[in-house]
């Protein structure tokens, strides 16, 4: 327990489940190996029993395998950490939970100033679903507006691919209108791999599946692509 006291930043994966099926995600690529699991508020309280283990620490709720917002106790976990002096950051695709849930979370963020939500949206209305498979734009947009209606603090994190470069500027403008900080992100998902995405389309009153090849982003879209590529060469990373 003394080791926890010394930590300044703690990353928590409170769920390994997700509403999306991003082709570059380890969960999507190893779905047969993953059984449903989540961390409960009770477990969080056991790990961090008093404010001594929480105060002035940064808690990042992210998703290596799952989206934290899928966890039914996500709000209660964040509230507990904040009430005990912690600062929280949530990374999510944003296309899950109800509008009322997001309004409540936004109020918690505004009233405490100790919560930020990173909405991971890779495109706009016409392209986000190509990588963020299964996310519904209309629901995502309603959720963000609900969160911002109570002045929740947040950012729009945009992974640039070849297919969504055309919507980069409209996303920037929309982010500004929503009052979100706009950030372009790079990493292994858009710097050296090509992914195969399976999206759904409605044609003649029927839902059809279609495979789409997702190509990496172009070098001029962000400054760290060359750094990533050089690291890949050092560690002999191949597709």
Q: How far is CA 83 from CA 12, 54, 100, in A?
A: 17, 9, 21
Rounded CA gap, 64 and 226, in Å? 24
DSSP code per residue over 92-128: E---SS-HHHHHHHHHHHHHHS-EEEEEE--S-TTTH
Rounded CA gap, 235 and 239, in Å? 13
| All domains of the chain in start order, with CATH | 2-187 (3.20.20.70)
For residue 239, the tally of other CB atoms under 10 A from its CB is 7
Residues 6+ apart with CB under 8 A from 231: 237
Q: What is the pLDDT of residue 196?
A: 78
Our CA angle for 33, 88, 29, nearest 5°, is 20
Rounded CA gap, 154 and 230, in Å? 32
Length of the chain: 239
Closest by CA to 86, choosing from 122, 114, 110, is: 114
Per-residue pLDDT of the chain (239 residues), as tens digits, is: 667 778 899 999 999 999 999 988 888 878 777 788 899 999 999 999 999 999 999 999 987 889 999 999 999 999 999 999 999 999 999 999 999 999 999 999 999 999 999 999 999 999 999 999 999 999 999 999 999 999 999 999 998 888 898 899 999 999 999 999 999 876 666 666 677 777 766 666 666 677 888 877 665 455 555 555 565 566 554 44
């Amino acid at each position: 327990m003394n080791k926890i006291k010394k930590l300044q930043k703690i990353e928590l994966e409170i769920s390994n489940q997700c509403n999306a099926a991003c082709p570059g995600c380890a969960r999507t690529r190893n779905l047969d190996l993953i059984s449903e699991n989540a961390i409960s508020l009770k477990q969080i309280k056991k790990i961090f029993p008093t404010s001594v283990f929480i105060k002035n620490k940064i808690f990042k709720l992210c998703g290596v395998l799952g989206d934290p917002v899928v966890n039914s106790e996500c709000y209660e976990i964040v509230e507990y950490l904040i009430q005990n002096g912690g600062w929280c950051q949530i990374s999510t695709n944003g296309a899950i939970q109800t509008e009322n849930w997001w309004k409540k979370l936004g109020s918690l963020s505004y009233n405490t100033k100790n919560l930020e939500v990173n909405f991971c949206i890779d495109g706009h209305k016409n392209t986000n679903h190509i990588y963020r498979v299964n996310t519904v734009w209309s629901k995502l947009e309603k959720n963000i507006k609900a969160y911002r209606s109570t002045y929740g603090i947040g950012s729009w994190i945009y992974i640039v691919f070849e297919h969504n470069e055309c919507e980069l500027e409209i996303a920037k403008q929309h982010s500004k209108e929503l009052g979100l900080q706009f950030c372009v992100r790079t990493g292994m998902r858009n710097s050296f791999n090509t992914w195969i995405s399976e999206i759904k389309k409605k044609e003649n009153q029927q839902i059809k599946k279609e495979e789409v090849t997702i190509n990496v982003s172009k070098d001029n879209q962000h400054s760290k692509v060359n750094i990533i590529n050089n690291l890949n060469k050092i560690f002999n990373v191949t597709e």
